[in-house]
Amino acid sequence: MKNEEEVVALPTSVKYCIVGAGIHGLSTGYHLAKELKAAGKGSGTDILIIDKARPGAGASGIACGVVRNNYFQPAMRELMAHSVSVWESDQQGYAYHPVGYMQISHEGMRSDVRSIYEQQQAIGYESDFIEGAANCDAYMLGLFHDWRAKGITSVLHEKKGGFAFNQQSLDGLAAKCRAEGVQIIGQTEVRELETDGGAVTAVVTNRGTIQCDEVVFGAGPWVPQFWRMLGLPETTEILVDGATITQPTWRYWALQEGTLGIEPGYLTTNDGNAPPVIHIDTDVALHDDAGNLLVDEPWGIYYKPDFNFGGIQGGYMPSKVDKPFDEVAVDPYGESSPDFVVNDDFRLIWASALSFCHKRFEGMASKMSKEPSGGIGAFTPDSFPVFDTFGANAHVIADSNHGYKMIGVGALVAKEIMGEPQALLEPFRYSRYAEGKLHPLSNSPYPWS
């Protein structure tokens, strides 16, 4: 039987057309419907969300689902505090689990993490900060009796944040959209855009042409395709220390994530409760349980028990995708995608990293799942999002792989569509590159930090 999205007729015109039924598209549709109703300027029936497959078929549906505010960049912290408040507004509807989040780090990152803590306190975001190797060991052993990670000199414990079950949260958002009258239609792939005077007048799909007044692109790793359709630059000039450099506008990384196939309840705190999401970065060499050297440079993993994935789930540092734009952009989640099957090197490293942290995971590398996880990420030149409007009516949500946790971005974009500029989005305009208004970088081994 065909699914719901396949049998619905495609309208020929709509006021607001949103491309992508992931976290950004659904959040924008839902919040825009509420804004229209509150302002007496329309309703959800004025909004159409289209997707080339179905809600959650792309990055949002298989991401790790971590919700955190662990950012060295002030603008990212403020934006994430807003998104956390959206997650908290309906924990059941969004399948959100507010277990907290921990950033556990080596000495080279201590000052950066201390800065994060201080600025979290300044915006009223609850967290604790522990410094010094002995104090960190004692704190972690107070949570986990078998904690044994080495080289740790700081722990930032965010009391908010946690994780959400991906598909359930998207289903919840889709239900909220439909309750407001928003139409969601799948199996609809955008082929080109019709423009007039720089403004998008219609979206041409495999099922017909949709005339529209405003269009939103929230398509995750597929955003570069629409960037190109809008005629936006393939390279970006960046002002750095008074000099201009030119870089490709888009780069791709394969996100290495997976699941240790054991009972999720195997990882609990000493008091039997669900633990916070753990992220550890260390400069201590990583060996497998037999003593073989695996990694001899700073590395990091994140992990959590997850009944949705059916095990201990998380990820490792991403790897660069050395493929041309066109080859990756055609189908980042197709069978030819380099991350479609999690490789054995990653499985061994990640299982060994879990054992590095907890004795309870020793000897469990063979239990790593073969199921695909992670995904392709389309990254901007500085690896931070671009939220901007082009050609008067094309609103681009390019999350640079920070996406799933940023459920609140759709609410902010909805307000901007209604004519209310949002200060939280200002630091993420595309013009920041030419103006040299760049986000500070931390000492994390992750490109998005």
Q: Dump pLDDT digits (tens) for 16-26.
A: 999 999 999 99
Q: Which of 364, 366, 326, 328 is nearest to 344 (CA)?
A: 366
Burial of 80 (0-12, 13-18, 19+ CB in 10 A): buried
Phi-psi region of 439 (alpha: psi -120 to 50; beta: other; left: phi over 0): beta
170: helix, strand or coil: helix
Amino acid at 146: D
Quote the crossing angle between the two packed helices 110-122 and 74-89, to the nearest 10°.
Answer: 60
CA–CA dist 45, 33 (Å, integer): 8
Residues 165 and 95 sit within 8 Å (Cβ to Cβ): yes
DSSP string for residues in 143-155: H-TTB---S--EE
The whole-number average pLDDT for the span 306-322 is 84
Give the model's pLDDT for residue 341. Answer: 42
What count of residues does the chain have?
A: 449
CB atoms within 10 A of CB 243: 8
DSSP string for residues in 350-389: HHHHHHHHBGGGTT-GGGB--S---EEEEE-TTSS-EEEE
Give the model's pLDDT for residue 406. Answer: 93
pLDDT digits (tens, 9 = 90+) for 352-369: 999 999 999 999 999 998
Instruction: Tell which wins on pLDDT, 328 or 92.
Output: 92
Give the model's pLDDT for residue 2. Answer: 42
CA–CA dist 373, 390 (Å, integer): 33
Write out 9-37 in H/E/C secondary structure. CCCCEEEEEEECCCHHHHHHHHHHHHHHH
* DSSP, res 7: H
Residues 434 and 237 sit within 8 Å (Cβ to Cβ): yes
Give the model's pLDDT for residue 340. Answer: 41
Give the model's pLDDT for residue 158. Answer: 94
User: Which domains can be identified in the chain, with CATH numbers?
Assistant: 1-97+162-233+384-429 (3.50.50.60), 101-159+251-379 (3.30.9.10)
Contacts of 60 (CB under 8 A, 6+ apart): 22, 23, 166, 170, 220, 403, 404
Q: What is the pTM for the complete model shown?
A: 0.91
97: helix, strand or coil: strand
Give the model's pLDDT for residue 338. Answer: 43
Instruction: Please determine, for residue 443, whether its predicted confidence score (pLDDT) is greater than 90.
Output: no
314: helix, strand or coil: strand
Give the model's pLDDT for residue 72. Answer: 79
Return the structure tokens found at 83: 């998104």
Q: Which helix (H) or strand (E) holds 315?
A: strand 311-316
Q: Which of 102, 93, 22, 86 is nearest to 281 (CA)?
A: 102
Q: Using 50, 70 and 90 to split pLDDT, how confident is the model at 427?
A: very high
Give the model's pLDDT for residue 62. Answer: 77
Q: Using 50, 70 and 90 to split pLDDT, how confident is the model at 257?
A: confident
Burial of 272 (0-12, 13-18, 19+ CB in 10 A): exposed
Residues 365 and 260 sit within 8 Å (Cβ to Cβ): no
Instruction: Please determine, for residue 324, whether its predicted confidence score (pLDDT) is greater than 70.
Output: no
Give the model's pLDDT for residue 402. Answer: 83
Supply the mean pLDDT for the chain: 90
DSSP string for residues in 99-165: --EEEEE-GGGHHHHHHHHHHHHHTT--EEEEESHHHHHHHHHHH-TTB---S--EEEEESS-EEE-
pLDDT above 70 covers a percentage of the chain that reads: 91
